[in-house]
A = this chain, B = another copy of it.
Amino acid sequence: MAGSVYGERFRVMTWGESHGKGIGVVVDGCPAGLSLEEADIQALLDRRRPGQSRFTTQRDEADAVEILSGVFEGRTTGTPISLEVRNKDQRSRDYSAIKDIYRPGHADFTYDAKYGFRDYRGGGRSSGRETIGRVAAGAIAQKLLGTLGIGVRAYTKAVGGIAVDPARFDLEKMWENRLYMPDPKAAEEAEAFLAEAMARKDSVGGVAECVITGLPAGIGEPVFDKLDACLAKAVLSIGGVKGFEVGDGFRAAKALGSENNDPFRLDKAGRAETGTNHAGGILGGISDGAPVVFRAAIKPTPSIASVQQTVTRDGKEQELEIKGRHDPIIVPRAVVVVEAMAALTVADLLLTGMMSRMEWVHKIYGGPYEDRDGK
């Protein structure tokens, strides 16, 4: 495997470069019989699209998705679903300025080190446009999860040092500001902070938080494919993410056992109802039925307009001044990608979980024996 495949059962393969002919993804393993149309996917793609506010890049692309296979008469057929977004903004710019120089904080040098050369146009495969494939596939996973009453929602938890105040938290308010922060006051402060950074030709980092609700207990595999381990990989695979934590995360490292253990109760549906949820809905790598809560630390946009020290391809030191407009923050456009990756991960493990009991195998296939094993 060379890194562009994700998932074992609900499996996706993404492709495409920033300034190539297009970006796409193929989904193999979506069960047959799910209602699906292009609008389901377009809705999420529109959320990651640039050009929506003064804080996002000005590249104006429709990013219109096309379903090329795997859907017949409005439903998935069980065969691969190919999704494609053609690049419209391929005009042959002048890349001579960055062709032979390594931008700090970018993958320019590491791609050269790995492959011997690279597609330098707009970052090539390492561009943020790569996430179109993730979001498109994630939209299908979210549709699937929705039919089971499972919701996946991510939002901006913090911009630099400015965090959502739990006392003011209101999820619906995230749609009312361009930063997707569920706290209008924090959003306002964050916008001011961002404007200031932009004025100084600088960029800022932040934190995205994601909550998965309605997940049955029992999802995730023991040992290596724990639910939180898989989510960690999913999230760290997004460009710019430098940290992951579930439940109390790094705060748990400072807590006492008597503080960190959630007193354990079950609701009527047989799901954990801990109230405190320090564990973040996962025990031993397996969901306990409480909401799954995790966070991603995202670094400041590496493309900044101020002068930076770097080297050229042949090792000469040189100053670099990056031209053009760039997002001063990655987080607001990343939240929909975090949702997509979480949905892909959960859908994959949910399908896997179907095979965990003989009793469920018999539920699907029946069998001739009254006195079956596994009951």
Contact A264 B107 (CB under 8 A): no
Say which one of A46-54, A166-174, A234-242 lies at the interface with B: A234-242
Q: Please, which residues of chain B bring their CB within 8 A of the CB of A287?
A: 110
User: When A and B form their complex, which 8 residue pairs have the shortest distance between CB atoms, in order from nearest?
Assistant: A107-B284, A3-B221, A33-B374, A203-B257, A243-B245, A233-B233, A110-B286, A257-B300
Mask: chain A, 1-40; 1 = CB below 8 Å from B; 0 = not: 1111110110101111100111110101111111100000
Contact A66 B289 (CB under 8 A): no
Chain B: CB-nearest residue to A300: B257
Q: A8-B8, A32-B117 are in contact. List 4 more A-B contacts (CB 8 A).
A: A2-B225, A16-B82, A104-B263, A225-B237
Q: How many residues of A contact B (CB 8 A)?
A: 175
A212 CB, nearest partner CB in chain B, Å: 14
Q: Please, which residues of chain B bring their CB within 8 A of the CB of A266?
A: 109, 311, 315
With known contacts A72-B124, A283-B109, A32–B297 Cβ distance under 8 A: no
A362–B144 alpha-carbon span in the complex (Å)? 10
Q: Please, which residues of chain B bring their CB within 8 A of the CB of A250?
A: 207, 242-243, 245, 250, 297
Q: Please, which residues of chain B bring their CB within 8 A of the CB of A270?
A: 113, 315
- Out of B104, B114, B272, B283, which one reaches A356, CB within 8 Å? B114
Mask: chain A, 205-237; 1 = CB below 8 Å from B; 0 = not: 111000000101111111111101111111111
